[in-house]
Structure 1
Amino acid sequence: MAVRELCLIDKDISSLLEVPLNPSISSLNLHCNRLTKIEGLTTAWHIRHLDLSSNHICRIEGLASLSSLRTLNLSCNLITKVEGKLDNCVFTYCSVLSGLLYLHGAEYKLKYLQLHSNCLDSMNHLLQCMVGMQNLKDVTLSKDGAQNPVCSLPGYREMVLQSLHQVTTLDGVDRIGNPSPLAEDSPMDVPGLEDFLEFLISSDTSVNEELVNCFYDTVPTGDGFKTNSAVPSVIHKAKRDTDPTSESECDSGKENQRHSRILSHLRGSAGKKLTKDTKPKQSDCACVYMQAIVEERDQERERRWKAEQAAKRLSEQVKNLQTRASEEKDLQSLALHTTDRLKEMLLKERSDRAALQTRLQELEERYRSTLEQLEQVHNREDQHKKALRSLEDSMTKAEALRVQQHAEEMKRTRELENKASAIKREVEILRASARQHKEKMQQLHELLTSREEMHRKELATWLLPGGTEFKEAVAKEVVVIEQRFAQKQTDLEQKISDARRQYAALEDEFRMALTIEAKRFSEVKEGFDQVSAELLDVKSSLSLSQQKEKQSASLVQELTAMVKEQKTRIAELLKAKREAAAEFKTRVHSLESKLEDDKRLNLQVELLKKDKSKLLSQLTAQESVIDGLRAERKIWGQELALQGASLAQDRGRLEARIEVLLGELESQKKQNERDNDALRIKAKIVDDQTETIRKLKEALLERDEQIRKLRDENVQDQRKLKQQLEEEMASAVELRDTVEHMSLFERVYADVSQASSKKWQEKAELLNRLESQVKRMKEGFDSKERALIEEKDKASQAHRAAVEKLHSVDDAFRRQLESLQASHQAEILSLANDKQKQIEKANQKVLQVEEEMRQLLEETESNKRVMEEKMRRLTQVLKDF
Structure 2
Amino acid sequence: MDIDYNHNNDQININSSDISLMGHGIKNLDEILLNKNLNSINFHSNEIERINGLQGLINLTHLDLSSNNITRIQGLESLISLTTLNLSSNKIVVVEGLFSLKKLTWLNLSYNKIEYLQGFQDLWGNEFNLNIIQIHGNHIDSLDDVIKYMNGLSRLEHLTLRENPISKTYDYRLKLFNHLRRLTSLDGLDKHGNKHISSQPLNGIEQYIHLSNQTKDQLIDSSNSLSDQYPKIAAALNSFRYNPREFQSSTTSTTNDIHNESCSELDNDSISHHRKKDVKETRKRLLTDDKHSVESQLSDIETDSIKNKNSQSNPKTNHKQSTPRQKSMKNKNHSSLSNICSNELMEEQTGRFSINYDRNLLNPRRERDCDEFNENNKFYLSISNELDSERNKRYQAEQQIKQLNLIINQLKQKGSKTNGNLIEELNDKHKQLLNDEKSKFRDLTSIVDDYKKRLQTTEDQLCSYKKAQETNLQLIKTLENNLTKSDTENHQLKINQNEKVKRLEDENHKVKYENDSLEKELSRVKEQLRQCQELCTNKDIQHKQEVDKCRIDLQSNEVQFYIKQEIQRKEDFFQNQSKIQQEKLESLALEYKKLENEFRDALKIEQRRYIDLLKTNEILRQENELFQSSSTNTKQNQESDKKIMNDLMMLVREQKTRLQEKSKTNENVLNENKNLKMKLEKAVEELRKIREQILLLQKERKEINARFQAHESILSALKEEKKLWTQELTHQGVSLAQDRGRLESTIEILNSEISTLKKQLDKQVDTSKIKQTIIESQLDTIQKLKDGIVERDETIKKTREEFLLDKKEFEKQIQEEQMVNQELQDKYDNACEKKDSLKSNFNLLQQELEKTKSDYNALTKKWKEKSDLINELDNKIRRASETYQINEKKLSDENNRLMQIQKELEAKVHERDDDFRRQFEVIEHGHRQTINEIKKAYEDKLEQSQSRINQIEDEMRLILNETNQQKLKWQQRIKHLNHFINDLQQNN
Larger RCO, structure (CA 8 Å, separation 6 or more): 1
TM-score in same-fold range (> 0.5): no
Determine which structure has more spread, i.e. the larger CA radius of gyration. Answer: 2
Q: TM-score range by the shorter chain?
A: 0.3 to 0.5
Hey, which of these two has a bigger chunk of helix by percent? 2
Q: TM-score if structure 2 supplies the norm length?
A: 0.31
